[in-house]
Amino acid sequence: MCFDGGGCGFCAAGLPFMPMYLVVFRNRKRADMDAAAYGADAARMVALAEAQPGFLAFKSYTADDGEVVAISEWVDATSAREWGRQVEHLAVQGRGREAYYAEYTLFAGEPDRLRRFP
């Protein structure tokens, strides 16, 4: 797959194309959540994700209004879905719905365009 339409395996800047699958997790925390428990779970999930086959990267950003956007990159959809089904991750997902998140939205898919500068 070529993101710049040429089908050549290189992006527009001539860099090798690296396939990836993105998962974007937007969320807002509950005001009454246990911040220490959340922090411990979050740190464990990052460490566990980094050990998963197909993991590429993870970054999280917090906006001024408190919304968090977390982005994970995977080599393919299968790797991302396997992470979503990992037993310990499933348990923490349940805790997240019960105790940590007021709301969340998850977006996942392959990017249809890649641009790099320089």
Question: What is the domain-level CATH number for residue 81?
Answer: 3.30.70.100
Say if 118 falls within a structural domain.
no
In a domain, 34, yes or no: yes
- The model's pTM: 0.82
Mean pLDDT for 28-54 is 98
- Asked whether residue 116 is domain-assigned, the answer is no
Contact yes or no for 31/99 (Cβ under 8 A): no
pLDDT bucket at 3, cuts 50 / 70 / 90: very low
**Predicted confidence (pLDDT) at residue 47 exceeds the cutoff of 90:** yes
Predicted confidence at residue 12, as pLDDT, reads 53
Q: How distant, in Å, are the alpha carbons of 26, 62, 81, 96, 113 from that of 103?
A: 8, 15, 21, 10, 29
Confidence class for position 60, pLDDT limits 50, 70, 90: very high
Distances (CA, A) of 69 to 49, 66, 104, 113: 17, 10, 10, 20
Instruction: Note the pLDDT of residue 87.
Output: 98
User: φ and ψ at 88, to 5 degrees?
Assistant: -65, -40
88 inside domain = yes
Give how many domains the chain has, as a whole number: 1
105, part of any domain = yes
What is the residue range of 42's domain?
21-109
Residue 14 placed within a domain = no
CA distance 77 to 20: 8
Give me the chain's average pLDDT, please: 89
* 38 within a domain of the structure (yes/no): yes
Percent of the chain with pLDDT over 90: 76
Q: How far apart are CA 55 and CA 92, in angstroms?
A: 18
Q: Which pLDDT does position 113 carry in this prediction?
A: 80
Helices (H) and strands (E) in the chain, counts: 3, 4
